[in-house]
Amino acid sequence: EFRRFSLERSKPGKFEEFYGLLQHVHKIPNVDVLVGYTDIHGDLLPINNDDNYHKAVSTANPLLRIFIQRKEDADYSAFGTDTMTRKKNVLSNVLRPDNHKKKPHIVISMPQDFRPVSSIIDVDILPETHRRVRLYKYGTDKPLGFYIRDGSSVRVTPHGLEKVPGIFISRLVPGGLAQSTGLLAVNDEVLEVNGIEVSGKSLDQVTDMMIANSRNLIITVRPANQRNNVVRNSQTSGSSGQSTESSLPSSTPNILANFLQGEEESDEEDIIIEDSGEPQQIPKAAPTSESLESLTQIELLHESTQNGFLPSNEMNLNHSAGSISMEYEVQDPEHESLEEDETIIKL
């Protein structure tokens, strides 16, 4: 269902009032809902307090698109970077949630409140000794902030142990994206860049590949410290007793390929300035209805943590106390519908 209504831009009021207004407009006074909006980057971001509500209103230009989901069948994965460009999926999730028979999520904190900066992905299809890390450079001004070097690692081959050349992380820049995630460390061996193996490639080649993918960098590493590995079987991990859910899809080796293909459409949008002098993003196959005029990048995440208003899951990440693993499951390759499970993994 669609509703269109207007707000006073200069006096948006409180979130509580807005929430009430929404419930009123949609005639759902007693239903718990999640409220989200699309920001200038086309990302679906949540509205759940005064700050992000004000932000949303102030960036609306001129239309503010708001999505409302019933809380019990909400799809948290809908929020975050690049969500609108995977819009088909988002829309099908948001608007027709009944199409999917999904298990209810166990909500521990509110990861849906944040734009992701990094994630561990493909835990289910990788060996336990490897870790695939995605760095979301898009939408943040933080530098990626790491260096790589040549080195050698020992491999088990049919001829016994062999020393083979490899690429390693040599330095993390303090305050950089790589360091702040806690998912990468000095001396981690780089195995793949965006799904392409680096073995046999020179340091310069790997450097160029990483820079070429810098807006959406997915690197697979063999961590130097193997004690922090993701352990799939939750029973063996739980010293804290926290239950961990991990749905293991029936192994799909083409997950990454699919994932990347989806990505390819979205990772970069060239800007074109026509003779009117107004910058525009180059339209894609499915252009958004609103023309996005301002190009300033805001760092929502940054603000919210600084304000200290929100219970911060991000802090967990920073302290390496926990990490988020998103698993992608392809249910119907035709529709490319993605489902994400958040799993907190205890170290």
Partner 1 sequence: MRRFLRPGHDPVRERLKRDLFQFNKTVEHGFPHQPSALGYSPFLRLMAIGTRSGAIKLYGAPGVEFMGLHEENNTVMQIHFIPDQCQLVTLLDDNSLHLWTLKQHSGTSELREEHRFTLKGPPGSPPSATQITAVLPHSSREVLYLGTESGNIFVVELPSFRVLEDRTITSEAVQQRVPEEYCNRRSCELVEALREHPKNPDQILIGYSRGLIVLWDLQNNKVTHHFLGSQQLENLYWQRDGSKFISCHYDGSYTQWPVSSDNRQPEPLENTVPYGPFPCKAISKIYWQTTRNGLPYIIFQGGMPRASYGDRHSISVVHGSQQTAFDFTSRVIDFFIIFSSEPTAEFDDPSAMVVLAEEELVVIDLKTAGWPAVHPPYLASLHCSAITCSHHVSNIPLKLWERIISAGSKQNIHYSNMPWPIDGGTNIAPDPPQRDLLLTGHEDGTVRFWDASGVCLHLLYKLSTVRVFLTDADPNDNMNTPGEDEWPPLRKVGTFDPYSDDPRLGIQKIYLCKYSGYLAVAGTAGQVLVMELNDEDAEHVVDHAEADLLQDQEGYRWKGHEKLKTRDGPVRFEAGFQPFVLVQCQPPAVVTSLALHSEWKLVAFGTSHGFGLFDHQQKRLVFVKCTLHPSDQLALEGPLSRVKSLKKSLRQSFRRIRRSRVSSRKRRGGSGNASEVQEANAKFDQEALQEMELAPVQRKIEARSAEDSFTGFVRTLYFADTFLRDSSRHCPSLWAGTNGGTVYAFCLRVPPAERRMDEPVRAEQAKEIQLMHRAPVVGILVLDGRSTPLPEPLEVAHDLSKSPDMQGSHQLLVVSEEQFKVFTLPKVSSKLKLKLTALEGCRVRKVTVANFGSCKTDDYSENDLAVLTNLGDIQIISLPFLKLQIRYPCIRKEDVSGIASCVFTKYGQGFYLISPSEFERFSLSSKWLVEPRCIVDIPEVTSNNHVHNKSGMENAARKS
How far is 282 from 179, CA to CA, in rounded Å?
33
**Residue 143 makes contact with partner 1 by CB under 8 A:** yes
337 Cβ contact list (under 8 Å, min separation 6): 89, 92, 93, 100, 330, 331
Taking CB under 8 A as the criterion, the residue among 39, 75, 122, 269 binding partner 1 is 269
Among 304, 305, 346, which residue's Cα sits nearest to residue 325? 346
- Start-to-end C-alpha separation, the chain: 43
**Residue 146 makes contact with partner 1 by CB under 8 A:** yes
Q: Is 87 helix (H, G, I), strand (E, B) or coil?
A: helix
**Residue 210 makes contact with partner 1 by CB under 8 A:** yes
Q: Which CB sits closer to partner 1, 69 or 213?
A: 213
Q: What angle do CA 182, 263, 334 make, to 5 degrees?
A: 125
**Residue 88 makes contact with partner 1 by CB under 8 A:** no
Which residue do the tokens 């929100």 mark? 310
CB of 139 to partner 1, least distance (A): 12
Taking CB under 8 A as the criterion, the residue among 39, 137, 179, 341 binding partner 1 is 137
Q: Which CB sits closer to partner 1, 66 or 185?
A: 185
**Residue 81 makes contact with partner 1 by CB under 8 A:** no
Taking CB under 8 A as the criterion, the residue among 208, 245, 293, 303 binding partner 1 is 208
- The piece of 22-30, 44-52, 236-244, 277-285 that touches partner 1 (CB under 8 A) is 277-285
For partner 1 (CB under 8 A), the number of binding residues is 48
CB of 113 to partner 1, least distance (A): 26
Q: Judge contact between 90 and 97, C-beta under 8 A.
A: no
How far is 320 from 311, CA to CA, in rounded Å?
16
Q: Which CB sits closer to partner 1, 203 or 330?
A: 203
**Residue 100 makes contact with partner 1 by CB under 8 A:** no
**Residue 272 makes contact with partner 1 by CB under 8 A:** yes
**Residue 212 makes contact with partner 1 by CB under 8 A:** yes
Among 172, 318, 200, 338, which residue's Cα sits nearest to residue 262? 338
**Beta-ladder partners of 168:** 149, 189
Which residue do the tokens 């490899």 mark? 166
Taking CB under 8 A as the criterion, the residue among 125, 126, 186, 260 binding partner 1 is 260
Q: Which DSSP string corresponds to 17-63?
A: HHHHHHHHHTT-TT--EEEEEE-TTS-EEEE-SHHHHHHHHHH-SS-
**Residue 221 makes contact with partner 1 by CB under 8 A:** no
CB of 190 to partner 1, least distance (A): 10
**Residue 286 makes contact with partner 1 by CB under 8 A:** no
Taking CB under 8 A as the criterion, the residue among 1, 8, 98, 274 binding partner 1 is 274
**Residue 288 makes contact with partner 1 by CB under 8 A:** no
**Residue 268 makes contact with partner 1 by CB under 8 A:** yes
Q: Judge contact between 113 and 211, C-beta under 8 A.
A: no
Q: Which CB sits closer to partner 1, 207 or 305?
A: 207
Q: Is 213 helix (H, G, I), strand (E, B) or coil?
A: coil
Q: Tell me, what DSSP letter sits at residue 217?
A: E
**Residue 282 makes contact with partner 1 by CB under 8 A:** yes
Positions in the binding site for partner 1 (CB under 8 A)? 137, 143-151, 170-171, 178, 194-196, 198, 201-215, 217, 257, 260-261, 264, 268-275, 282-284
